[in-house]
Structures are given as C-alpha cells and as structure tokens.
Amino acid sequence: MGTAPDRQDDPVHDVEVLRKIAVDVAVSAGRFIVDDRPVTLSVTTKTTDTDVVTDMDQRAQDLIVTALRERRPDDGFLGEEEGSTRTGRTGITWVVDPIDGTVNYLYGIPAYAVSIAAVVGDPQTTGGWRPVAGAVVNPVMGHTYSAAEGAGAQRIDASGRSMTLRVSDLSDLSQALVATGFGYAADRRAWQAAVLAGILPDIRDIRRMGSAALDLCRVAEGSVDAYYERGLNAWDLAAGWVIVTEAGGTVSGRSDAAPGSDLVVACGNALRAPFVERLERAMSECDVTSA
C-alpha cells in the first residue's frame, strides 16, 4: 500500500478534512433515518427474500449523495443503493452504506449505522483500494466513530464525551469474544454455520449483532476481541476498516491478502496469529466438504 496522501501538499486529500466531512454527513443522515422514519416502512428485497431494502435506505443515500456532491463535487461515489456510482477526478471516492444493519432497522433493534468513508483506489476491486478517512454513526445509541489515516480513531458519545479507541490486547484464543455475520443465501449460510461450528469450541463466545460497520467499530473499541465475515461489500467495510487500523488493529482477507468479499478478518495484533490460523483452518475444512 502507498503512503498516506500528504496533507500539506494536497488539500484535496487532507485526511482530517475528509474525516470531518464524513462525520458531519453521517451524523446528519443518522438523524434523518431516526427522525423521519415512517410508521410503516416500504420494504423490497434484493438478492434473496430476506435481503431487504427499505425506502429509507434509498432516501438516506440520496441525502448523503447530495451533501457530498455539494462539498466535494469532483470526487467519485459508490453506494449500496441505486443510482450511486460516479467516477471522480480527484482520486478520492466516497464509499457509503446509508443503513448498515437494515434488518435491525426494519425490526427496530438499535444496532444499525450510517457508514461513510473516503477511499483512494478502486473500491470495486479487491486489493486495489484503501480507506483514508471514515465515520460510522449509530444514531440510536448516539455513537459517532471516526478515523483519519495517521491521525487515530475516536468515538464520541451522545453526551459529547470523546474516547480514543484501542483494540483489545488479548492473545489467548480461548478467551476471545468474536463477532461475525451471515449472508442471505442458504448455501452461503450453511457454509458460514459450518465454519462457526469449527471455531466455537476454541473461543470464549460469538456475538452476531447484524451490522458489519458496527462490528468493526466494536473491534476498534475493544468491546469484542475479533470480527470475521465472508460476503461483505466495500460499503459495509470501508469506514470500519480505517477505524480498526487507526485503533491499532489489523484488517485483512485470507492469508494476509487485502480484505474483500471472500473474507474480512479484524482483530488486535496479539490475537491475530492464533485467530487467523484457527479460522482459516476451519474455512479450509469447510471448503473441502462443500466443494
């Protein structure tokens, strides 16, 4: 990976400016999805009949696109919902999930987030991009997580209290609390369940909370020791990725590759070797049986 864009020489890539934009727009979109939520959500499905999208996902993304275009008219854009892909001219692309944890939003479970990141490279590739600033906002809990490359990661609570984020320093796999998630397709879920069954006896426990962006933020704040998932898109991953790395953790794919749809693994460096070894062994065993 290249070095971070130099802030002094290149104001277009000033990562602290990008971070503030991500925070401001994500906080505004977070207020919108809570305050303007209709009594009855309009719901449709995407890849399967449980992969839902609501009208608020699209409306929140439209709000975000408008706000970013006003502030950064020459940047690129990639969002989860319709009508969002735009090639830019600055080398910065905004990668957005307007509601990460849509099922939780639909059910009223307070574990969903607005995720906005500024990335360099092409976020529609694996290994060809990285985030340089990002924000994840849980609007119900009032938590605003953010980071900028080389400038650390923080969480600001509803009271306005700011906390510098540090990942867990746990090294004992048997004590690890691990977050994960599952896809929407039955064959993918069967494989994910088999991998989970493989590692569960060797860790403390798992948590399945329903938002990848928030799971990555929990790794960054040390409220879980590790997170892994197969099947993430760039918009699930981008902001949480830079928040974890700026909190002292590592985010990768299989065998130290770049994170992507095949696998995202995030944890502190003390736990990384035993966790990745156990996880990849379980994945290989399941790849053999599901082949």
Q: How far is the CB of 6 from ligand LIP (least distance, A)?
A: 33
* Complex with ligand LIP: residue 15 or 179, whichever CB lies closer: 179
Backbone angles phi, psi at 25, to 5 degrees: -75, -40
Q: How far is the CB of 218 from ligand LIP (least distance, A)?
A: 12
State the DSSP H helix or E strand holding residue 76, giving kind and residue range, or none if neither.
Answer: strand 76-79
Strands (E), 122-198: 129-138, 143-148, 153-156, 162-164, 177-180
Q: How far apart are CA 194 and CA 75, in angstroms?
A: 41
* Complex with ligand LIP: residue 84 or 102, whichever CB lies closer: 102
Q: How far is the CB of 162 from ligand LIP (least distance, A)?
A: 25
Q: How far is the CB of 97 from ligand LIP (least distance, A)?
A: 5
Burial class of residue 3, CB neighbours in 10 A (0-12, 13-18, 19+): exposed
Q: How far is the CB of 138 from ligand LIP (least distance, A)?
A: 12
Is the torsion defined by CA of 245, 88, 78, 157 positive or negative? positive
Q: How far is the CB of 227 from ligand LIP (least distance, A)?
A: 9
* Complex with ligand LIP: residue 210 or 260, whichever CB lies closer: 210
Give residues in contact with ligand LIP (CB under 6 A): 80, 97, 100-102, 181-183, 210-212, 229, 236
Burial class of residue 71, CB neighbours in 10 A (0-12, 13-18, 19+): middle
* Complex with ligand LIP: residue 188 or 254, whichever CB lies closer: 188
Tokens matching residue 289: 């049986």
Count H helices, E strands: the chain?
7, 14
Tokens matching residue 210: 């329903």
* Complex with ligand LIP: residue 221 or 236, whichever CB lies closer: 236
User: Looking at beta carbons, which residue is closest to ligand LIP?
Assistant: 181
* Complex with ligand LIP: residue 101 or 259, whichever CB lies closer: 101
